[in-house]
């Protein structure tokens, strides 16, 4: 048995190495660490390891620092540092290549088969075995990894017996969360893909942002993809801790608003355009709807009517926007924002006023009072640096505060690509910003809503 510490902070990068390790044709036991502190803890407590596999200079984890920490603690641990840089020239790293028998800087372009060969060498050395590693016809992929896509990138199989595989999806097929659940319930921990497809699958996996769907779908499959996207949002918010009751109420509210808006009205037109989208604008609106209704449940003044107001505001709040990249760049403060024209950003900043105005003008009975106010203030923030009014934490109405906390949380989840293990960090960061004025109670509501999830994460991580 080869004991490996996989110390990579980025969730997707770690998953693609897991895929390689899952397919090693010899016994490996893999311990994972997603931060420097965890890596140090695990190294000291769960060692000794035969191999540490890490990325050089990855976010939150510096491989040279970790190497220097680990070097003196164990004589037998080899390091594979994945990098295209010359790390031997870094302070303290000059002896890296010769410190241990198998220490190596692995180029980023190394294929699965090359990496497996290298790991096999350590295994052979440790167990005094000699064998040649041979490629297999099918490779394993954890069933849950398929949740990241809704359309298959290649043919997918289940394994019936050692040499018998049956194709269950062909390349390009659309599938839903329900399909994946069905397979997981049948205890199918792995699905299989052809060896020749593996490399591309692995790369695509690391590249695919969460919840982004294929844009060139036929209208019928676009409809299915749209449903699949909502299904995916459902699963995520339930995983986070939003109750079934809240999900149902929000879905019902959305349905009511949609079906009762006046046919041909500007709002109806914009809302139906929004639903044809399969991108950030539509998906994050749904998530804000669920999260704000969930936070509201923790407020002393909560009623079903109030949750409906929040859900209605959530699905309408960005309907006048048509550039998901720009919206996401502003919401998440991404560096890509620089590539947009000043006029585009200026006109973007008008959307809270525009949508509030549209709602005031519509005489729809389905839009309850106060929704326009939530819309108008949805980009205000506790620092008072938001727009359009720059309202500070004391002047923002309580209902708007709930909405804005939910929106900020959803943005943070996007930032970490829906890695739920990051929730404790996200809460720490948000608490610093929102534990003030009218935002305080909403922030407490958010923490309480996420309590079950945070407890699980803390247990798993300790």
Collect all residues with Cβ–Cβ distance below 8 Å to 395 and sequence separation of at least 6. 437, 438
Q: How far is the CB of 412 from Fe ion (least distance, A)?
A: 13
- The span of 32-40, 143-151, 255-263, 315-323 binding Fe ion (CB under 5 A) equals 315-323
Asked if residues 375 and 361 have their Cβ atoms less than 8 Å apart, the reply is no
Structure tokens at 180: 């994946």
Compare residues 23 and 404 and give the one whose CB is closer to Fe ion: 404
CB 366 within 8 A of CB 417: no
Least Å distance, CB 354 to Fe ion, is 10
| Site string (187-226) toward Fe ion, x via CB under 5 A | ----------------------------------------
Alpha-carbon distance of 212 to 244, in angstroms, equals: 24
Quick one: DSSP state of residue 209? P
Question: For Fe ion, which is the closer residue by CB, 64 or 374?
Answer: 374
Of 214 and 354, CB closest to Fe ion: 354
For Fe ion, which residue of 318, 372, 373, 422 counts as binding (CB under 5 A)?
318
Closest by alpha carbon to 101, among 82, 79, 85? 79
Stretch that binds Fe ion, among 295-303, 316-324, 336-344, 387-395 (CB under 5 A): 316-324
Distance, C-alpha 21 to centroid of its chain: 22
Q: How far is the CB of 366 from Fe ion (least distance, A)?
A: 21
Give me the least distance between CB of 280 and Fe ion, in Å please: 9
CB closer to Fe ion out of 50 and 318: 318
Residue 283 found at the interface with Fe ion (CB under 5 A): no
> Please, what is the minimum distance in Å from the beta carbon of residue 163 to Fe ion?
51
Part of the chain binding Fe ion (CB under 5 A), chosen from 157-165, 253-261, 312-320, 446-454: 312-320
Place of tokens 């060969």: 117
The residue among 318 and 372 lying less far from Fe ion, judged by its C-beta, is 318
Task: Tell the smallest beta-carbon distance from residue 281 to Fe ion (Å).
Answer: 8
**Listing from the earlier edge strand, what are the strands of the sheet with 51-55?**
28-33, 2-7, 51-55, 78-82, 104-106
Smaller CB separation from Fe ion, 368 or 388: 388
Instruction: Name 221's Cβ contacts closer than 8 Å, sequence gap at least 6.
Output: 174
Piece in contact with Fe ion (CB under 5 A), picked from 127-135, 307-315, 318-326, 428-436: 318-326
Q: Is 268 in the site for Fe ion (CB under 5 A)?
A: no
Q: Which residue is nearest to Fe ion (CB)?
A: 318
CB of 272 to Fe ion, least distance (A): 18
CB contact at 8 A, 359 and 375:
yes
Nearer to Fe ion, 283 or 318 (CB): 318
Who contacts 77 (Cβ-Cβ below 8 Å, separation ≥6)? 47, 48, 49, 50, 51, 52, 70, 100
With beta carbons less than 8 A apart as the criterion, state whether 17 and 62 touch. Answer: no
- 50 is a contact residue toward Fe ion (CB under 5 A): no
CB of 348 to Fe ion, least distance (A): 8
Find the helix packing angle between 280-296 and 304-316, rounded to 10°: 160
Instruction: State the DSSP string of 258-324.
Output: HHHSPTT-HHHHHHHHHHH--SHHHHHHHHHHHHHHHHHTTSTT--HHHHHHHHHHHHHTTTT---H
Footprint on this chain of Fe ion (rule: CB under 5 A) = 318
């Amino acid at each position: 048995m080869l004991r490996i510490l996989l110390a990579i902070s980025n969730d997707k990068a770690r998953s693609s190495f897991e895929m390689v390790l899952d397919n090693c044709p010899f016994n490996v036991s893999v311990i994972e660490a997603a931060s420097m502190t965890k890596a140090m803890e695990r190294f000291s407590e769960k060692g000794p390891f035969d191999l540490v596999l890490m990325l050089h200079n990855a976010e939150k984890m510096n491989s040279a620092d970790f190497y220097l920490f680990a070097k003196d603690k164990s004589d037998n641990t080899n390091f594979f540092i994945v990098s295209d840089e010359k790390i031997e020239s870094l302070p303290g790293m000059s002896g890296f290549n010769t410190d241990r028998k198998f220490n190596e800087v692995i180029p980023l372009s190394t294929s699965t088969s090359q990496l497996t060969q290298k790991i096999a060498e350590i295994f052979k050395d440790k167990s005094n075995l000699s064998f040649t590693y041979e490629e297999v016809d099918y490779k394993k992929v954890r069933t849950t990894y398929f949740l990241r896509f809704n359309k298959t990138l290649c043919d997918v199989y289940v394994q019936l017996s050692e040499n018998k595989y049956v194709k269950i999806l062909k390349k390009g097929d659309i599938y839903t969360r329900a399909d994946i659940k069905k397979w997981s319930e049948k205890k199918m921990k792995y699905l299989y893909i052809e060896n020749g497809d593996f490399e591309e699958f692995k790369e695509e996996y690391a590249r695919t942002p969460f919840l982004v769907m294929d844009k060139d779908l036929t209208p019928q499959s676009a409809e299915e993809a749209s449903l699949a996207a909502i299904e995916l949002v459902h699963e995520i918010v339930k995983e986070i801790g939003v109750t079934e009751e809240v999900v149902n109420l929000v879905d019902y509210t959305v349905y009511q608003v949609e079906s009762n808006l006046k046919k041909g009205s500007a709002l109806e037109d914009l809302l139906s355009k929004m639903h044809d989208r399969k991108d950030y604008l539509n998906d994050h609106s749904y998530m804000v709807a669920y999260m704000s209704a969930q936070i509201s449940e923790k407020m002393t003044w909560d009623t079903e009517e109030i949750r409906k107001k929040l859900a209605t505001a959530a699905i309408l709040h960005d309907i006048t926007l048509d550039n998901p990249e720009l919206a996401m760049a502003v919401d998440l403060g991404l560096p890509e924002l620089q590539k947009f024209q000043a006029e585009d950003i200026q006109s973007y900043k008008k959307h809270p006023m525009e949508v509030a105005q549209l709602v005031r003008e519509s005489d729809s009975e389905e839009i309850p009072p106060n929704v326009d106010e939530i819309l108008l203030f949805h980009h205000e923030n506790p620092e008072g640096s938001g727009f359009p009014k720059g309202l500070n934490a004391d002047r923002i109405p309580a209902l708007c505060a709930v909405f804005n906390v939910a929106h900020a949380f959803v943005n943070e989840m996007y930032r970490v690509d829906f890695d739920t293990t990051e929730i404790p960090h996200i809460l720490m960061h948000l608490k610093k910003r929102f534990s003030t004025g009218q935002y305080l109670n909403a922030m407490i509501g958010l923490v309480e809503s996420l309590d079950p999830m945070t407890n699980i994460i803390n247990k798993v991580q300790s």
